[in-house]
């Protein structure tokens, strides 16, 4: 008698997600969401909780412990949801912000977060509340479609587009049109992974084109004696655990070529089957990092898809050490008008603050607001005579049009408070850290980007910060506590570089001490006119560890694992996340 044994190969995470995506377009599932709301949380199948909801900008919310206590790299979830509201180019009207404030008060415990892609996130939403929330947003021209999932995420742009006194052009119409072209479009519901686009007409590259899958920056050329505005194009940028700063293509895009180019790149990405084999290596950048694509081969394929050739790129002028937080009172291109930028500490904003900001925009300006990549909020088209009164009232509601370098420069991800992938708590920690540094270094007046991210996935963008810290755990006196690992010297623009992991880690409670020591050393030994980027660049990792620790210490090698970070000579860990 012959016995036959059958071996069943377990489906990988990538295979499961790809199977679920092939089986349906989640954007066709609104009636199912309404049914779940009627029948309750227990009626929701796993494929919706783990996959399909994301296409609607909805994630299950973590239990407050982050990744701890979960399995397969993800923490436990509550029967509550995070809802991400997509705000293309950060453009908001007062009635829209007022609606978000009302929904925040009604459904989200009164708090919301401005994200690093100009979105606004709510938490604590129940399935029963979700349809009403989506409908309320729709009534004021907002939605959550495409804010999460393997789709085109929120298209970002310069938050002062159209009013910036020094901009090359107002590129916001292109950003809005690109958003309409891709978000909710059934042709692009099934991409290998998230797809990020930024389009900017400003000279300081506010939306960070270097870390987007498609980064377009305005430039000007002379053609036959006539000035023409067009765009430089970078592709495949991204952070996460393996940062890659986008490759510039040898192409000058004319205004009418921008949307066909974006669509062509989205099609190229969609059709790249090799990127669907591993969830952790599915972003566009991995064509360059793993599959030997170059800027030249990418351009050839793009031109084949769009059916025409682009003109060669022209010399561009990347911004050098420009601070891009937009906080303060700034003149607009429109005579007699200004915009006023309010600092929103680590992006956390209350329903009352949003209501008040919307009212102030109506009282003192034209009712137009903007959200920024540094998690701040702007009011534009303010008559110059109103600026001081507006700034004073913003300060009274806790949204100052100024502040210390620490208050203005600190960016933070969601952390364990809401995120199932996070290792450390970030929002309350960041507020405490800012308060500590303001008390210890009251006269520190240098621009500083201090980014806090709760895990290696870099949703808090620690790779592009002057000082970037990412969350770890460590044992102190036999007890596991939150800890942070330091990277320094990140920059974009002319001096682009990912931050250097310097091999220093300490408990979260010791982070203020470490940063204080580092900045005091900078103040005491800097050269004339030397900023933090140059200071970090002229010191070795060994020296920087000593500055942080206050004494010579060895590198923490377990936090320098096996994958090389492009352009740094250092190492980082390989993983993947589902951030903004």
Mean pLDDT of 128-157: 98
Q: What is the mean pLDDT of the chain?
A: 94
* DSSP type of residue 565: P
SS3 162: coil
Dihedral angle at the C-alpha atoms of 436, 442, 443, 448, nearest 10 degrees? 30
Count CB neighbours of 119 within 10 A: 25
Helix, strand, or coil (residue 57): coil
Structure confidence at residue 10 (pLDDT): 87
Q: What is the rounded distance in angstroms from the CA atom of residue 33 to the CA atom of residue 56?
A: 10
- Farthest CA pair distance, the chain: 96
* Three-state secondary-structure class, residue 484: strand
Angstrom CA distances, 218 to 106, 210, 214, 230, 233, stand at 41, 14, 13, 6, 9
* Separation of alpha carbons 480 and 335, rounded Å: 58
Percent of the chain at pLDDT > 70 equals 95
Tell me, what's the pLDDT at 192?
Answer: 98
C-alpha span between 467 and 391 (Å, rounded): 29
CB atoms within 10 A of CB 276: 20
At residue 560, the pLDDT reads 43
Count of alpha carbons within 13 angstroms of residue 159, beta-carbon side: 32
Q: How many CB atoms lie within 10 A of CB 347?
A: 27
Structure tokens at 476: 């102190």
pLDDT per residue over 419-468, tens digit each? 999 999 999 999 999 999 999 999 999 999 999 999 999 999 999 999 99
Strand intervals (E) in 384-460: 410-412, 450-453
Residue 9, pLDDT score: 80
CA gap 381, 368 in Å, rounded: 7
Q: Give the mean pLDDT of 147-173.
A: 98
Measured CA to CA, the distance from residue 408 to residue 483 in angstroms comes to 23
Give the three-state DSSP class for 487.
strand
Q: What is the pTM of this model?
A: 0.94
Phi then psi for 182, rounded to 5 degrees?
-110, -40
What pLDDT score was predicted for residue 580? 79
Give the pLDDT mean for 254-271. 98
pLDDT tens across 511-559, in order? 999 999 999 999 999 999 999 999 999 999 999 999 999 999 999 965 5
- Encoded tokens for 558: 């377990």
Q: Which two tokens stand for residue 140?
A: 């004021």
Compute the distance between CA of residue 371 and CA of residue 90 in angstroms, rounded to an integer.
5
94: tokens are 């007062």
Residue with tokens 């679920």: 20
**Distance between CA 101 and CA 110 in Å, rounded?**
8
Q: Which residues of 123-154 are buried (b: 16+ CB within 10 A; e: fewer)?
A: bbbebebbbebbebbeeeebbbbbbbbbbbbb
- E strand or H helix at 214, and its extent? strand 214-223
The per-residue pLDDT for 570 is 34
Q: Write down the pLDDT at residue 578.
A: 60
State whether residue 233 is helix, strand or coil: strand
Q: Per DSSP, what are the bridge partners of residue 383?
A: 337
Main-chain phi, psi angles of 534, to 5 degrees:
-70, -35
- CA 129, distance to chain mean position in Å, is 27
d(CA 413, CA 415): 6
What single string gives the DSSP state of each residue in 225-269?
TEEEEEEEEEE--B-TTS-BPPEEPS-BEEGGGHHHHHHHHHHHH
Q: Quick one: which of 446, 467, 469, 444 has its CA closest to 456?
A: 469
CA distance 238 to 245: 6
Interhelix angle 94-107/351-364, rounded to 10 degrees, is 160
Classify 193 as helix, strand or coil. Answer: coil
Amino acid 7: pLDDT: 57
**pLDDT at 566 > cutoff 80:** no
The average pLDDT across 129-152 equals 98
- Show the CA angle centred on residue 568, arms to residues 574 and 506, nearest 5°: 65
Predicted confidence (pLDDT) per residue in 468-485, tens digit:
999 999 999 999 999 999
DSSP 8-state secondary structure symbol assigned to residue 555: -
Q: Tell me the C-alpha distance between 360 and 372, whole Å.
A: 18
From residue 535, alpha-carbon distances to 128, 170, 365, 498, 530 in Å are 53, 35, 41, 15, 6
Structure confidence by residue, pLDDT tens digits, 386-401: 999 999 999 999 999 9
- First and final CA of the chain: distance in angstroms? 59
Q: Compare 511 and 6 and report the one with higher pLDDT.
A: 511
Tell me how far CA of residue 301 lies from CA of 190, 309, 551, in angstroms: 20, 11, 53
| Average pLDDT for 296-313 | 98
Q: Above 80 in pLDDT, residue 88?
A: yes
The first and second tokens of residue 247, run together, are 């490759």
Task: Enumerate residues 6+ apart whose C-beta is below 8 A from 260.
Answer: 306
Q: What is the mean pLDDT of residues 393-417?
A: 97
Asked if the model's pLDDT at residue 5 lies above 60, the reply is no
Mean pLDDT of 188-214: 98
The token pair that represents 496 in the structure block: 């682009």
> Does pLDDT of 333 surpass 90?
yes
pLDDT per position as a tens digit, 25-76? 999 999 999 999 999 999 999 999 999 999 999 999 999 999 987 887 889 9
- Local confidence band at 8 (pLDDT 50, 70, 90 cut-offs): low
* Alpha-helical regions (H) of 501-540: 511-525, 532-537
What local confidence, expressed as pLDDT, does residue 68 receive? 85
């Amino acid at each position: 008698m012959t016995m036959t044994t059958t071996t069943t190969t377990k489906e990988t995470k990538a295979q499961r997600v790809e199977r679920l995506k092939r089986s349906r377009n989640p954007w066709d599932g609104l009636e199912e969401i309404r049914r779940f709301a009627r029948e309750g949380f227990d009626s929701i199948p796993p494929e919706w909780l783990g996959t399909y909801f994301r296409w609607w900008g909805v994630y299950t919310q973590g239990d407050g412990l982050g990744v701890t206590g979960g399995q397969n790299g993800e923490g436990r979830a509550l029967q509550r949801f995070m809802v991400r509201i997509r705000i293309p180019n950060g453009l908001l009207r007062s009635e829209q912000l007022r609606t978000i404030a009302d929904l925040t008060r009604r459904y989200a415990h009164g708090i919301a977060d401005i994200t690093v892609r100009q979105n606004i996130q709510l938490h604590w939403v129940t399935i029963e509340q979700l349809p009403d929330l989506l409908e309320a947003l729709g009534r004021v021209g907002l939605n959550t479609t495409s804010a999460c999932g393997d789709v085109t995420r929120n298209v970002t742009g310069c938050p002062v587009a159209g009013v910036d006194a020094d901009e090359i052009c107002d590129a916001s119409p292109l950003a809005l049109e690109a958003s309409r072209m891709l978000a909710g479009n059934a042709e692009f519901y099934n991409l290998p992974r998230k797809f990020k686009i930024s389009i900017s007409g400003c000279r300081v590259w506010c939306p960070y084109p270097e870390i987007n899958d498609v980064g377009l920056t305005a430039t000007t050329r002379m053609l036959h004696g006539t000035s023409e505005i067009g765009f430089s194009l970078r592709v495949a940028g991204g952070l996460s655990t393996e940062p890659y700063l986008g490759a510039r293509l040898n192409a000058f895009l004319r205004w009418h070529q921008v949307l066909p180019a974006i669509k062509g790149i989205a099609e190229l990405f969609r059709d790249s089957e090799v990127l669907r084999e591993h969830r952790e290596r599915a972003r566009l950048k991995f064509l360059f990092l793993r599959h030997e694509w170059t800027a030249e081969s990418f351009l050839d394929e793009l031109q084949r898809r769009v059916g025409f050739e682009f003109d060669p790129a022209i010399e561009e002028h990347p911004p050098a050490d420009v601070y891009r937080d937009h906080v303060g009172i700034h003149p607009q291109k429109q005579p007699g008008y200004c915009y006023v930028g309010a600092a929103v500490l680590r992006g956390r904003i209350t329903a009352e603050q949003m209501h008040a900001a919307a009212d102030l925009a109506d009282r003192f300006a034209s009712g137009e607001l903007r959200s920024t990549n540094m998690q701040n909020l702007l009011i534009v088209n303010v008559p110059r005579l109103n600026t001081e009164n507006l700034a004073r009232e913003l300060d009274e509601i806790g949204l100052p049009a100024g502040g210390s370098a620490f208050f203005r420069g600190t960016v933070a991800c969601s952390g364990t408070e809401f995120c199932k992938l996070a290792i450390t708590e970030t929002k309350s920690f960041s507020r405490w850290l800012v308060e500590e540094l303001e008390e210890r270094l009251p006269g520190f007046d240098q621009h500083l980007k201090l980014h806090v991210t709760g895990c290696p996935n870099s949703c808090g963008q620690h790779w592009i910060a002057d000082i970037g810290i990412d969350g770890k755990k460590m044992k102190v006196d036999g007890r596991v506590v939150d800890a942070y690992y330091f990277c320094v010297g990140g920059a974009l623009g002319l001096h682009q570089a990912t931050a250097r992991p310097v091999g220093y880690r300490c408990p979260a409670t010791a982070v203020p001490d470490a940063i204080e020591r580092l900045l005091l050393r900078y103040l005491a030994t800097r050269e004339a006119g030397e900023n933090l980027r140059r200071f970090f660049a002229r010191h070795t990792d060994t020296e920087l560890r000593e500055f942080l620790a206050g004494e010579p210490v060895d590198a923490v090698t377990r936090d320098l694992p096996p994958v090389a970070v492009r352009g740094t000579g250092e190492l980082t860990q390989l993983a993947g996340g589902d951030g903004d």
